[in-house]
A and B are shown apart, each in its own frame.
Chain A
């Protein structure tokens, strides 16, 4: 599950037999057979079913949020040229952030309040509605854009609800701006070409998630359980988690983009090979682009962006990155994770940016990969203490051995996966394919290979999913 969303309860994953072989075939069949003017209704119903599969009662929370923001959107637009529009916008933002704050951050605030005051206010132990971070930001972008006059308020509750609840991007992004899909909500095209491209993207995303990310996740879990602490295993874990989170999250984005394309929607790219970056500044232009641009457009620029004094700019950067970290999860290690990036962004702007640009590529790549790897160790740890312990293992703290039988075994086992993940995280495969496509023979070869590869991937993905319920016993006794 991508960044920071705490996996509470059950929900329908794209990478599940239920979704791939039950929900999606039925949804697509009904969708394409439905007349144009009812297609949004079909998508809305399917999306609510998709969402309700995980937590039926939280469908009500999302529908309430949609209904309230629908009303706010209309009111804000009606009064857009009046001073009260700002008050209505503030109410809209307060409502959205209030819901998010209650479900996601209340226990975090209570725990810290207790720590500071010495009181023992009981925690509420509220389970987190899946996707609330994503759809809340989508809703906020809608009402803010209406206030700014960038978009017209949506008059149809069904269309607005479809935009917010649409299942391809609902639980894991990308964070879709209303402006990007407003036209498609009214009228969109479907074609075999779009279907082909969407299918291909879906298969790529599923492969990234099921074949690579999940496998690397197993190695991370083994690290968490092992009693054999070595420097090698610690670094393998850091590399595995960095690659896992990239393939998991970018895989979900690929699936969302692919599904959207099949349904007539065009979503923005959310990842642009971030692991080839040569600076942290560049990394964040390539990683979770929809989140970065959201914070830029709705927080950083309204705060003044970089068109302010250096002191104010520093405040803006640290505020935005603290909140970016907090968006990922309600815990101090997420906040520190965000602030870590703020520190490096500042360093690059004022001191090392030019040096990095002039440095050999391999050094600047290594710089980014080490910082990102360390940051994700911080991100993944269940507590700050554990984060420090794991980082210590990477540095050989406690005199732990460099390697042992266990870590070498897993290095041998995962070597090919690491290699494939490393290559897959670069644009090389794409460049190779584009080069082949320029020639006639290459074009023909790719044309023939495409369905074969897609079918092989579908079968491999299915095989991995089916095997995930493997649960053996040694003896028959039933």
Chain B
């Protein structure tokens, strides 16, 4: 072969390589772009538990104000094709390739996902205490109520905080709540739990492992609880891919909900003041919904009233709470004829008095550490 032929072959080969590379890269790029343009927009992200941004309205006003452009990038990111797949890719690159310890503040140890939330936000805890003080001053002072308070440590307390991960000052949190609520008897439940008492993929604790916690609270309230043997445990067939499953965007072993039934839970009915409807204590239809944890008292609600016709006593309990109480209250139910659950993330404190008459009930304030560290959601 002559030298010019070799050179020409090399050049032809180089041109071929150029074309192949450009075709491959541009081909994929344009394909993704095409999918982005034609894909029907989704309305919610199950993994992030929020609505997804929609295409902003295009108008002269929105363009000049810049709101169209602001909204378009959020829309473009939220509606990108295979969004969860790309988020998984990013999580995999971060964790497995680049060796990061967390991704979007979610970390995984021994197959358990937890959230990094530090440092302790003193201002936020004080906000919560101020809200509780307001409730006490408005509704409880001068009544015959017995007031109690407890803090539910989050998973990080039992996982990363013991492994040199940055952590909030939990001891300070517990003492702030105890000292900041002198009108309440503080119930320390921190040592009643271990990391195994929480779901692997969710923020919440497992109902079937709450006997020590329920017992500690029952003892403080003076009611005690039924023996665990009095309950029938049922494991759901449906998988629970918890809040952290979607947020971590990594393949984790899902959980299963287990619920504990006894006579009290069987006969009790849950009245939702917002929807004006009754439901059972365990709403098994929710197992196949967005969040199987909603089986407990049908999920998040501003104001619920649980009536127990089979109660041992005529006592009543009012629980100021977050979602953790949904799975705890069925274990306390036996001793109370009525349990009112108030979630002041969804109802203003000023309206509570229109629905609850505080006379001589047991009143329990029980919140998890993550919420107390971001208490601006309390109304």
Contact = CB atoms under 8 A, between A and B. Distances in A.
Interface stretch (B26-34, B130-138, B188-196, B347-355): B26-34
Contacts of A16: 73, 76
A121 B102 CA distance: 49
A10 B67 CA distance: 9
B101 A413 contact: yes
Contacts, number: 174
Interface in B112-159: 118-119
B28 A455 contact: yes
B87 A467 contact: yes
B99 A478 contact: no
A190 B25 CA distance: 18
B323 A475 contact: yes
B351 to A, nearest CB: 17
A476 B26 contact: no
A459 B25 contact: no
Interface stretch (B11-19, B217-225, B228-236, B303-311): B11-19
Interface in A440-478: 447, 450-451, 454-455, 458-460, 462-478
B362 interface: no
B165 interface: yes
Contacts of A9: 66
A452 to B, nearest CB: 9
B6 interface: no
* Consensus secondary structure, chain B interface: helix
A468 B83 CA distance: 11
B278 interface: no
A415 interface: yes
A409 B116 CA distance: 12
Nearest to B73: A18
A367 interface: no
B360 interface: no
A472 B247 contact: yes
Contact of A414 (B19, B26, B47, B100): B100
Interface stretch (A51-59, A80-88, A175-183): A51-59
Interface string B41-54: 00010011111010
Interface in B78-113: 78, 80, 83, 86-87, 89-91, 93, 97-102, 104
Given A470-B48, A476-B49, A462 B86 contact: yes
B50 to A, nearest CB: 5
Interface string B32-72: 11001100000010011111010000000001101001101
A454 to B, nearest CB: 5
B273 interface: no
**Interface size class, chain A:** 35 or more
B40 to A, nearest CB: 16
A17 B36 contact: yes
A21 interface: yes
Contacts of B246: 472
A316 B24 CA distance: 52
A420 B99 CA distance: 12
B98 A463 contact: no
B312 interface: no
Interface of A: 9-10, 12, 16-18, 20-22, 25, 53-57, 191-193, 195-196, 199, 203, 215, 226-228, 405-406, 408-409, 412-417, 420, 447, 450-451, 454-455, 458-460, 462-478
21 contacts: A21-B76, A25-B30, A56-B64, A192-B18, A193-B18, A406-B118, A413-B100, A414-B100, A416-B98, A417-B100, A451-B21, A451-B25, A454-B21, A455-B25, A455-B28, A463-B90, A466-B87, A469-B77, A470-B87, A472-B49, A476-B300
Given A21-B80, A226-B119, A468-B77, 9 more contacts: A16-B73, A18-B72, A57-B64, A199-B26, A451-B20, A462-B80, A473-B50, A476-B49, A478-B44
8 cross-chain pairs, A with B, having the tightest CB-CB distances, nearest first: A469-B77, A463-B90, A463-B89, A17-B76, A463-B86, A192-B18, A416-B99, A472-B48
